Structure 1
Amino acid sequence: MIRFVLRLAASAATLLICGAAYGQDIDPDIIKVQAGTYLVAPQDGAAGCRITLETDMAIGGHSLSGQDSCAKPMPTLAEAAAWNFDGNGGIILIDATRKVLARFVENEGSPMKTEDGVPLLLIAAPNGIDRLPTFGSLAGTWTMQRPDGEKLCGVTLKGNAEADGNAPLSLSGDCAANVATLKLAVWHVEGFGLTLMGHDGSSLAFDMRADGNFDKSKEEGGKPLSLVRQ
């Protein structure tokens, strides 16, 4: 499963889809669940900016802050004055005249993103990260290792995604048995999540950390494991 970090709980999403139309009163608990600081960034890896969705009322929705940081990377979003739900499980950013500047659509199993032009993602991000990782930016040699530095396997990620949305990878010949048996062959990046997969359904999911390396997703269970760039 491709993992990503997003604060919209499943129960909140259901309530939104079932009738919280744009302009209607929204349960304060749903607003609190969605509130927080997010990175808004192009899917192609270009620089983005951080915006904080707040719970106070504002013209056309709820207040936000941090939009000034968008002035250089995405000037249009620097005009954002409020945010709101769109009635279909998505989020909109609007200016002082209630013009919609960006509409982030809910995608099951993926971060919210816009549908026009180069998609923009609305996603929680590690501190200090201002852009999304891409196949190209992650391509190269990595080491799979334990927190104490014990090396389990060398992993080379290829940078070109194929038609199925995955890119090939290769493992070093000295991998630990518990890694070698997974027969990992391809990888995928979605938001700040990276997944290594085998053709038989085996997989290992990792979440990006602030230094650009990855730790095994907590949902995986088992011993801690990291991917560290060489």
Structure 2
Amino acid sequence: MIRIIPRLAAAAAALLVCGLAYGQHIDPDILKAQAGTYLVAPEDGGAGCRMTLETGTAIGGYSLSGQDSCAKPLPALAESYAWNFDGNGGVVLIDALRKVLARFVENEGSPIKTEDRVPLLLIAAPDGVDRLPTFSSLAGTWTMQRPDGEKLCGVTLDGHVNADGNAPLSLSGDCAANVARLKFTVWHIEGFGLTLMGGDGSSLGFDMRADGNFDKTKDEGGKPLSLVRH
């Protein structure tokens, strides 16, 4: 599963310790760590847009680009003029008058997102992808396989989410022994990361790629493995 590097927490700590406010100096390493191109998209799977958080200074914070791409999917964000750290581990987008258009709050182990009724996420995304996957969009039959095409197991993802925020899954009866022993029963989606989980604490994380299929996250180690939709 995609895991968020705690760089925002480091930025917040630096701001609080040094007593900095918007527009004042921030450690260049912290600034470079946060800068980059991100997808801003609704958590419910609606279309989003890409913005690049830059390191150059601007009124109220730091420069950004790409906001014009938000004109259709997220028109309010097309007015974004600059970005900044908010001093609490998050990021804000502001307009030319320094009005906050979006405040992305840090959530431990999860992508930063707004606290709106339908949250917006600020997240690194595969090239060409303009929206977040959802339980309903990923529901269906998948094959767990090696890069050479060797099939290890069939996986059926159910799209009905339970009270714990997970959804059921079922494995085919012909799974390889090393997969069957993990006894996966539920799955979870967080940003572009998908995790299969078993009742005994076993889990296996995957990261979405540009074609909509998933590769086992590098943090898992071991041999490469993919989830490919039928």
- Pick the TM interval, shorter chain: over 0.9
Q: What does 1:33-44 correspond to in 2, within 5 Å?
A: 33-44=33-44
1:58 Cα deviation from its structure 2 partner: 0.5
Which range is displaced more, 47-56 or 20-29? 20-29
- Find the counterpart in structure 2 of residue 182 from structure 1: 182
- Find the counterpart in structure 2 of residue 147 from structure 1: 147
1:3 Cα deviation from its structure 2 partner: 2.8
- Find the counterpart in structure 2 of residue 59 from structure 1: 59
- Find the counterpart in structure 2 of residue 78 from structure 1: 78
Q: Is contact 2:194–2:207 with CA below 8 Å preserved after alignment?
A: yes
Q: How does the TM-score come out when normalised to structure 2? A: 0.95
- Find the counterpart in structure 2 of residue 15 from structure 1: 14
Unaligned runs of 5+ in 1: none
SS at match of 2:7: coil
| 1:117 matched to 2:139 | no
Counterpart residue type for residue 68 of structure 2:
D
Which range is displaced more, 9-18 or 177-186? 9-18
Q: What does 1:1-230 correspond to in 2, within 5 Å?
A: 2-4=1-3, 8=7, 11-12=10-11, 14-16=13-15, 18=17, 19-230=19-230
Q: Which digits, 9 at most, give the CA deviation of each residue in 1:64-89, with x for residues without a partner?
A: 00000000000000000000000111
Q: How does the TM-score come out when normalised to structure 1? A: 0.95
For 1:10 and 1:105, the matched residues in 2 are separated by 11
CA distance 1:99–1:12, change in 2 (3 Å) = closer
RMSD after superposition: 1.5
Q: Which digits, 9 at most, give the CA deviation of each residue in 1:160-213, with x for residues without a partner?
A: 110000000000000000000000000000000000000100011000000000
For 1:188 and 1:54, the matched residues in 2 are separated by 32
How many residues are matched? 229
Q: Is contact 1:40–1:122 with CA below 8 Å preserved after alignment?
A: yes
For 1:118 and 1:17, the matched residues in 2 are separated by 29
Counterpart residue type for residue 4 of structure 1:
R
For 2:99 and 2:188, the matched residues in 1 are separated by 35
Q: Is contact 2:165–2:188 with CA below 8 Å preserved after alignment?
A: yes
Unaligned runs of 5+ in 2: none
For 2:9 and 2:89, the matched residues in 1 are separated by 10
1:9 Cα deviation from its structure 2 partner: 6.4
1:10 Cα deviation from its structure 2 partner: 5.8
Q: Which digits, 9 at most, give the CA deviation of each residue in 1:33-71, with x for residues without a partner?
A: 100000000000000000000000001100000000000
